[in-house]
Amino acid sequence: MKIFKIDHLFFHCNFQMSLALLCSVAADIISTVEFNSTGELLATGDKGGRVVVFQREQESKNQPHRRGEYNVYSTFQSHEPEFDYLKSLEIEEKINKIRWLPQQNAAYFLLSTNDKTVKLWKISERDKRPEGYNLKDEDGRIRDPATITTLRVPVVRPMDLMVEATPRRVFSNAHTYHINSISVNSDYETFMSTDDLRINLWNLEITNRSFNIVDIKPANMEELTEVITAAEFHPHQCNTFVYSSSKGSIRLCDMRASALCDNHSKFFEEPEDPSNRSFFSEIISSISDVKFSHSGRYLMTRDYLTVKVWDLNMESQPLETYQVHDYLRSKLCSLYENDCIFDKFECVWNGSDSVIMTGSYNNFFRMFDRNTKRDVTLEASRENSKPRAILKPRKVCVGGKRRKDEISVDSLDFSKKILHTAWHPYENIIAVAATNNLYIFQDKVN
C-alpha cells in the first residue's frame, strides 16, 4: 500500500478543505468508509475483502498548529470469496458496509459485511507476550514430555507493539438476498442487517438466531415491484428505524408496535411531477442511501440526481431538495446504456447536521450548506493536489460557451465516481473514496 502525505494544501472556497492524506489501497476499489464515533479511527473496506483501519496520531506538543494525521493502524482480511453450492453462486468477498461499535475496553470492535455474512472483529493492541511455557516451546510446538525435567514459571515480557484483528462472531445463514446495510442500535446490544427483501435483527452476542423484522417478499416473486435499498436505526430511539426502497419511498417503523414491522408507522414519499415522467423516472427515483441526522430530527436520502432532507414530522414531501448533478438529466440514455444509472451513491451529514456531502462522477463530490444554501463541487484528484496549490471549486458547463476552468458535460469521466464518503463526527475532516484512492481532507488550519 502506498501512502502519500501532502501537508497544508488549502482550497479557498466556502468550505476550506485541505488534503491531509492520500492513500492508494493497492489495486482494490474501496467499497466503504466509516469513522468511529470520536473520529480518531477511520476504517475502509474494499472489493478484495480487506479492512484497513487508520488512526489519527496524537497532536504533537512541538507543533501545536499541526493537527494529527491519519496513519495505517491495522490491515486485515475480513472476508474471503466463497461458493454457495446449493445455488451454484459465487459469494464475493467485497465489504459492503462497516459499522463501529462503542468502545467498552482497551480493544475496538467493528462489524463488517459482504453480501451474505456479517462479522464482528476485535482490534486490540499487544505489547507483552508470555514466555517460558512448560509443555510447548516459544514457537508453540508441543515439547516432548521426556525432555521436560524442570518446572518453569511462565513470565510476561515486553515486545514491539502489535495490533491484531480477531474475528469474534460470525452472523451467517440469515440472508437469501444481498446485504446492503447494517446498522447498530443505540441500545448497543442489537444490530440489523438488511437485504433486498428482508431486515433481520440480531443480538450482538448471539450468532445462531436472528429475528426477521421486515419481510416484503411477495408470495409470488413475479409480483415483486419494490426492493429495500438501505436501512438505519434512529440514533437515539432504539425502537425506531427506517428503510428506503427502489420506488423512492421511506418507511419509518416502530418495533414496539409489533414483532413484524411490515406495517410502517410513517411513510415518506414525494408525489411525482407528471411533467417529468420518463422511461427513467422509476430508476432515478430509487433511493441509494438513507441517513438519520445526528439530532434524529431529519432524514437524508440520496437518489440518482438529488439529495433530499426530510423532517420526520412531514411525510408528504421533503423539506429540502438539492440537485447533485442535474446536468446529467439529458444524458440518462447513455448512463442507462453504460449501467451508470444504477450506481449507488451514499450521502453524509457533517457533525452539526448543517452541511451535506455526496459524490458524483469525474471524481467530483458536492457539499451543500443547508443554512446559506451555498454549494460547491470539489474534485478528489492527485493532479490537483500539489503542495500549497489552491484547489478551486469545479464547475460543469451545460451547452453554450465553455469558460476557462469549466468542464463540459461531455468530457466527464463516468468511470471515476465517488460513491463513498465519511465526515468526522465533530471536526471538518472528510474521507473520500475515489476508486482505489482514499483522500482525507481537512479544513484550513488557523
Ligand X SMILES: *[C@@H]1O[C@H](CO)[C@@H](O)[C@H](O)[C@H]1NC(C)=O
Residues that bind ligand X (CB under 6 A): 15, 36-38, 40-41, 55, 100, 102-103, 208-209, 258, 260, 262-263, 273, 276, 329, 350-352, 354-355, 369, 426-428
Task: Please identify which residue in the block is written with the cell numbers 512541538.
Answer: 62
Give the count of beta carbons closer than 10 Å to the beta carbon of residue 69. 16
Task: Report how far residue 217's alpha carbon sits from residue 211's, in angstroms, rounded to the nearest whole number.
Answer: 16
Give the nearest residue (CB) to ligand X.
Answer: 351
Q: Which is nearer to ligand X, 96 or 306 (CB)?
A: 306
Cα angle 164, 166, 170 (rounded to 5 degrees) comes to 160
Let me know how many helices (H) and strands (E) the chain has, helices first: 2, 33
Q: Which is nearer to ligand X, 92 or 310 (CB)?
A: 310
In the complex, the smallest distance separating the C-beta of residue 371 from ligand X, rounded to whole angstroms, is 8
Q: Which is nearer to ligand X, 278 or 415 (CB)?
A: 278
In the complex, the smallest distance separating the C-beta of residue 7 from ligand X, rounded to whole angstroms, is 21
Q: Which is nearer to ligand X, 23 or 324 (CB)?
A: 324
Q: Which is nearer to ligand X, 38 or 408 (CB)?
A: 38
CB-based contacts of 79, cutoff 8 Å, min separation 6: 49, 93, 94, 95, 112, 114, 117, 119
The x, y and z cell numbers of residue 138, run together, are 516459544
Distances, alpha carbon 187 to alpha carbons 87, 183, 237, in Å? 36, 12, 9
Decide: residue 387, CB within 10 A, 0-12 exposed, 13-18 middle, 19+ buried.
exposed
The x, y and z cell numbers of residue 50, run together, are 480487506
Residue type, 234: H
Task: Report how far residue 389's alpha carbon sits from residue 411's, in angstroms, rounded to the nearest whole number.
Answer: 24
The H-or-E segment that residue 336 falls in is helix 332-337
The x, y and z cell numbers of residue 436, run together, are 482505489
Task: Report how far residue 267's alpha carbon sits from residue 273's, in angstroms, rounded to the nearest whole number.
Answer: 18
For residue 47, give the DSSP letter. T
Q: Which is nearer to ligand X, 240 or 437 (CB)?
A: 240
Q: Which is nearer to ligand X, 102 or 218 (CB)?
A: 102
Residue type, 411: S
Q: Which is nearer to ligand X, 29 or 425 (CB)?
A: 425
In the complex, the smallest distance separating the C-beta of residue 303 from ligand X, rounded to whole angstroms, is 9
113, 182 Cβ separation under 8 angstroms: yes
DSSP 3-state percent helix, strand, coil across the chain (nearest 5):
5, 45, 50
In the complex, the smallest distance separating the C-beta of residue 102 from ligand X, rounded to whole angstroms, is 5
In the complex, the smallest distance separating the C-beta of residue 39 from ligand X, rounded to whole angstroms, is 7
Q: Which is nearer to ligand X, 226 or 369 (CB)?
A: 369
In the complex, the smallest distance separating the C-beta of residue 285 from ligand X, rounded to whole angstroms, is 8
In the complex, the smallest distance separating the C-beta of residue 40 from ligand X, rounded to whole angstroms, is 3
In the complex, the smallest distance separating the C-beta of residue 206 from ligand X, rounded to whole angstroms, is 7
In the complex, the smallest distance separating the C-beta of residue 350 from ligand X, rounded to whole angstroms, is 4
